[in-house]
Structure formats: structure tokens, C-alpha cells
Amino acid sequence: MTTTTPRYEVTASKYRPKTFDELAGQEFVVSTIKNSLKSGHVANAYLFSGPRGCGKTSAARILARSLNCEKGPEAGPCSGMAGADVCSNCLSISRGASMDVLEIDGASNNSVNDVRQIKDEVLFPPQSGRYKVYIIDEVHMLSQSAFNALLKTIEEPPPYICFIFATTELHKVPPTIKSRCQQFNFRLIPVETIQEILKKICAENNIHAEDDALFWIARESTGSMRDAFTLFDQIVSFSEGKIRSELIREKLGIIGLDKLNAFSEACAANDTTSVFALTDEILGSGVAIEQFVIDLAGYYRSLLLLKNGVTRESILGYRPAQFSVKALDAYDSIRLEQALDILLDCYRNMRYGVSVRFELEIAVSKLAWLNKWVSPAELKNAIDNAQAILNQGFSVSQNQQSPRRNDSQQSQNNEKPAYQQPASDGRSLQNEFQRMIAAKDAATAASTTADSSTETDDDDVPLWNNAVNKNTDAETYPQVEQVRSIIPGTIVP
């Protein structure tokens, strides 16, 4: 004789909410439906829409049970599957044995003939309950003619009929159907709420779990309770009663925050050797390249948000104190935006590139030099500022003769040198560059003719040095020092 062991029940179905109070994160939907049940205002049809796994089907079943519960719709359905306080209607609906609650999968019953069958059935009143309830899941899958065939029935059904439609794709439901339904938009469930539910389940099942690990599961599920339960089950299966972040990282190939902090600190120090070594180490630990790029993008996003005053753990993914202070101090928002740009570009390019790894490495290399990066807007601004300062300086030179410049030479030049000419209005950046190049040539020419015996003919000395040292008194032009500080490196050495 063989004995059968009871089948393992996945957490998602074991913990499917059975009353409105158990439906987490949908307070608006719950309170509105409860109020309408209390006041006896039951609609002909309800349309539940929202992201996957956030409680639409569960809410439809709870509503169906409420409508037929022997205690009355206003009291809500009996809780629990079995027991002294569960009425026979609630029990048979929970078991899927009730003839008064029919759950139809819209994806596989989407033809006009399926709808015709419903239209015929609605003529028969409920057997034991108050209402005959049709739950049509994935309703957006119905064909256009099936929707059309439903219109009349939804608008004027027999008084004992209630339709509950559920869909993840509201935009595919025709407006003619929407306008005949009471619509409820289900929301993504907040990370903290998911974490709390997981904590409770752990306590009930004697599972020891680190808070960080549960938070990670909650965050990964991006607002879907079903996704959270599925990931939770997977982790429980290899955790042997103790859910630990370290073990999750190891088994699922996930990069810990400590690694990301080390990576960004190496980037901040322009330590390319360490940056590439860390990259290799992370990939070697089994992390997929795409996942690495996603995690890095998430990390720099969090730094950007932190820089802008966001401190909520649920948005950042970790507590603010867990992020590297060194990395945070090394960059401002502009550099962090650029880091995100680099990584998002990298992810897009991976699809078309020669090698996914090459794409990653070029992105990593760019990140290692991120603090040297200058945005086009900053460059433009610096050039504008430099231009303004030079114009100011050179117009002074027009009024105050340079002590080194001799009058005879000045009088020979009827036309002012380019660098002395005031900037015209409405100038383009290109014109400005041309003007600056002309100014450089003019200044170099002027400096060689002004005092060729005492000045060295050094091509390496940039324009601004020539202008100061050769044509003018440096003290007359303190602004030039400012120019140097505005445009470091190549433009004004």
C-alpha cells in the first residue's frame, strides 16, 4: 500500500489573501469596495487593472465571496478555508465548487461563441448565493466581436449578475467596455510592505531571515507580491532555514554593495588597474555581464539620488549610510548623470556590439576617468566666461597703453588686433572659436614685433601668456589668471 504525502503548496497560493483586510497595499480599492458593499451599491461590472501579481484575481475572488457570503455582503467574506466560522457559500467558492461563481480565462475563451455561452447562462439565477458572479481574467485578450457581444449584457444584466474583469493591459480594453464598468487601478506594492509580509511568513514558518535579505527580495520583486513569493520560495529551498544575504549572493550570482563601493572608489581614485581587476573578479564569481551593467547603473543612480537629497531606503535600494562616502564625495550630479549615461548606453550597445565584454570594458574604462570628464555645457560656460574676461581685459589695454608697447608701432596698426575687438552680439560658438584663434595669431604676431630682442620666440607659450607677458603688464590683467582657473588643461594651460 502506498501512502501519498501532501503536496507542497507554494507560498503565493498558501498566502493568497482571503479577506479584504489581507489584501496589502491596495487601500483605496479596498475601502471603496467595502463602502459600496456596505451601502448595497453593487455595480453590474467591475474592472480591475494593474501590474502583475498585485492582487487583482485575489480581490475578484474576495469580492465574489463577499457578495455571496451568508453573513451578508457588508460583513465581508468569512476568513479561512475551513472551520466553524466559515459559511458554506464561502467554503464552496474557495474550493472552486460553487456554481454561482464562474472564473473564466479570457485568454483561452476569447471568441464570440464563448461570450454567447455566457449570455445564455446569465438567464439562469444563482443556485445558493445572492449573485451569479463572472470573473473574467485577462479580459484584454477577448476579441473585438467578443467584447461587442458582451456590451449589452454588461449594461443591463439581470439583477443577480455581477461581472468582474481583471487585466494587466487596460489600454487594450475598449472604451465601450470601460465606460460600463467601475474601474479600480491596482498599485505596485511598496517594498516595505512586501518586506513586512515576508517577515511575518518567516516567523510563522520558523525561518530565520536577515532583514537585508528580505529587503533585497522585496526590492527585486519590483512591487509584485507574487514575484516576491516565488523568489522567496526559491531562496528558502537552498537556505536550510536561514536566509542570509551572503548565501543569496553566492547562489544567485549577485553583486554585493561592498563590491560596488570598492569599484566606485577605485574609479574615483582613477585606479584603472584595480577597476579592471575588480571587474574580472565580479564576472569570475558568476555574475552575468548584463547584470553587472544593470547593478552598476542602479548603484550610480542611487548615488545621484543621494546627492540630490533622496534618503529613502526603498528608493535607494540600501540605507544611505551603506554607500561609500569616498565615492559620494568624489562626484557631483553632472558626473553621476554621465556615469548613468555611459552605463545605459553600454547596455543598449551590447545588443549590437562585437563583444558584450568589450562594451563593458570600454564603459568601465570611461567610469575610471569620470572625475576628469567635462560636460559640453560646462565647456561652453567656461569659454563664455573666458571670453568675457578677456574682452574686459583687452578693452582695458585699449585705454591704458602697455608700457612695453611703443607708440610708433601702435600708430602703424590702424586696425585693432583681433583680440582687442569687442565681441559682436548674437555670436555663435563657432565664431567665438574663430575669434579666439584669430586673437591667438594676432597676439603671437604682436609679441614678436613688439620686442623681438628681449622676448624668446617660444611657440609653446600660449596666447594668454603672450598677451600678458609680451604686450601688456601682467598686473593690468588679473583676469587672465581667472581664465586659467576656469579652463584647466588644454584650453588655457
Ligand X SMILES: Nc1ncnc2c1ncn2[C@@H]1O[C@H](COP(=O)(O)OP(=O)(O)OP(=O)(O)O)[C@@H](O)[C@H]1O
User: Does residue number 26 form part of the binding site for Mg ion (CB under 5 A)?
Assistant: no
Q: Between β-strands 161-167 and 45-49, what pairing exists: parallel, antiparallel or unpaired?
A: parallel
- Binding piece for Mg ion, criterion CB under 5 A, among 54-62, 121-129, 254-262, 424-432: 54-62
Least Å from the CB of residue 235 to ligand X: 16
218 binds, among Zn ion, Mg ion, ligand X, none (CB under 5 to 8 A by kind): none
List helix spans (H) across 122-271.
144-155, 175-178, 191-204, 211-220, 225-239, 245-252, 257-268
256 backbone φψ class: left, alpha, beta (φ>0; ψ -120 to 50):
beta
Contact status, residue 67 vs residue 131, Cβ threshold 8 Å: yes
* C-beta closer to Zn ion: residue 87 or 170: 87
**Which residue has cell 477577448?**
142
* C-beta closer to Zn ion: residue 70 or 192: 70
User: Does residue number 57 form part of the binding site for Mg ion (CB under 5 A)?
Assistant: yes
For Zn ion, which residue of 47, 59, 64, 90 counts as binding (CB under 5 A)? 90
Contact status, residue 164 vs residue 181, Cβ threshold 8 Å: no
Least Å from the CB of residue 111 to Mg ion: 21
- Cα–Cα dist 395/181, whole Å: 75
**Amino acid at the residue 13:** S
Contact status, residue 282 vs residue 292, Cβ threshold 8 Å: yes
Question: For the chain, what is the radius of gyration of the CA atoms?
Answer: 36
State the sign of the Cα–Cα–Cα–Cα dihedral 271, 273, 276, 282.
negative
Count of positions on this chain that bind ligand X (CB under 6 A): 22
Least Å from the CB of residue 10 to ligand X: 9
* C-beta closer to Mg ion: residue 51 or 125: 51
Classify 243 as helix, strand or coil: strand
User: Does residue number 327 form part of the binding site for Zn ion (CB under 5 A)?
Assistant: no
- Binding piece for Zn ion, criterion CB under 5 A, among 22-30, 67-75, 207-215, 321-329: 67-75
Residue 234 Cα distances to 68, 238, 242, 317, 357, angstroms: 37, 7, 13, 21, 29
* C-beta closer to Zn ion: residue 70 or 281: 70
Q: How far is the first Cα of the chain from the last one, in angstroms, to the nearest whole number? A: 92
226 binds, among ligand X, Mg ion, Zn ion, none (CB under 5 to 8 A by kind): ligand X
* C-beta closer to Zn ion: residue 67 or 289: 67
For ligand X, which residue of 3, 5, 13, 485 counts as binding (CB under 6 A)? 13
Contact letters (x/-) for ligand X, 149-178, by CB under 6 A? -----------------x-x----------
Q: Between β-strands 132-137 and 182-185, what pairing exists: parallel, antiparallel or unpaired?
A: unpaired
Site for ligand X in 20-79 (CB under 6 A): 23-26, 52-58
78 binds, among Zn ion, ligand X, Mg ion, none (CB under 5 to 8 A by kind): Zn ion
Contacts (Cβ under 8 Å, ≥6 apart) of 340: 297, 300, 301, 304
**Which residues contact ligand X by CB under 6 A?**
12-13, 15-17, 23-26, 52-58, 166, 168, 189, 225-226, 229
**Which residues contact Mg ion by CB under 5 A?**
57
**Which residues contact Zn ion by CB under 5 A?**
69, 78, 87, 90
